Every structure is written in C-alpha cells, then in structure tokens.
Amino acid sequence: MSKDKTATRHGARQLAFQVLYGLSFSPVENLDDLKDIFSQSPGHPDLPESEVRTKPSGFAWELVEGVWKSRELLDDVIESHSHNWRIQRMGRVELTLLRLAVFEMLFRPDIPPRVAINEALEFNRQFGENKAGSFVNGILDAVNKGLETGECKRPVALPTHISKTSDLS
C-alpha cells in the first residue's frame, strides 16, 4: 500500500473518530441527521452541502455509517471481550475507538486486524487517557483472537434495521 493511501486512510479514520465521538454527546436518530453531522464536520472534504447530504462517500463515511448502523452488535462484541467492564462504564474516547476498530475487524476484511488495533492505539495516545491504552489493546487483542479461533464470527452484512434511538452514547 502506498504511503499516500495509508495517510489518507489515517486521516479518514481520524475524521470518523471525531464524528463518532461527537455523536456520544449529541446522538442522531436517523440517517439524514447523520449525513448532516458528517457533512458539517471540520476536516470534511469540500463538497457542495447538498451533494454530501445526498451522496456522502469515502472511507470516513463508510466508517461513520457502519459504526452507527452496527452499534448494538459492536457493543455486544466489545462487552463479551471486556471482562468485568460494562459498556456504560467505559470512557467515551475509549468506547468510540473500540467501536471503530471492532467495526473494521468485523466488516472490513481488506484491513488487517493489526492495522485497526494499531490505529486505535495511536488515536488513544492522541485523544485518550494514558492508562487506557492497555485496556483498549487488551479488548481488541481478545476480539482478534476470537476471530482467529472462530469464537467470534464476522457478520455476513451490515445490519439494515436501525432502531429509532440509535445513539452512540
């Protein structure tokens, strides 16, 4: 993979993280609202607002939409691999990073799990608590091992049903 593509994906992940983290404070209830939030994000590519709202695209959007649509599944996977930690007790930064990385691990077979884990740890160093790195790494490593052993299965497709209260808190 070229350095430009890697840098672009890193930037897209950062944008996705920032949008998803913001949703933990101001949840949205439908896809149109999610598109609006995404299109208003700082660092979003300069496109006409109407085009972004009707046809958001790119790696960052795929991550934002995918994590938003599959939040319940992601939370179940995270909670099943986080011993003695309920989702409600996790910090918002760490939970957002975990959701983003687990989404990539489950739904993006083109991305090696180690890349998703390393990106989450890098963002944790940048945005999270210093001590949380081992917590995030432990959960993601457990999910990765679960995928390798077959204990954790990759879903066939993204969930299509979105509950009315699909927040990211």
In contact, 121 and 128? CB cutoff 8 Å: no
Hey, where are the domains in the chain?
A: 3-149
Closest CA to 140 of 158, 121, 122: 121
Residue 14 in this model has a pLDDT that exceeds 80 = yes
The pLDDT of 69-84, averaged and rounded, is 93
pTM: 0.84
For the record, the structure tokens of 66 come out as 């995918």
Q: Predicted confidence band at 44 (pLDDT cuts at 50, 70, 90)?
A: low
* Cα 6 to Cα 11: distance, rounded to the nearest angstrom: 9
CATH superfamily of 3-149: NusB-like (1.10.940.10)
For the record, the structure tokens of 156 come out as 């066939």
Amino acid 115: pLDDT: 97
Residue 105 in this model has a pLDDT that exceeds 70 = yes
**pLDDT per position as a tens digit, 133-160:** 999 999 999 999 999 998 888 887 776 6
Single-letter residue type at 56? P
Residue 78 in this model has a pLDDT that exceeds 70 = yes
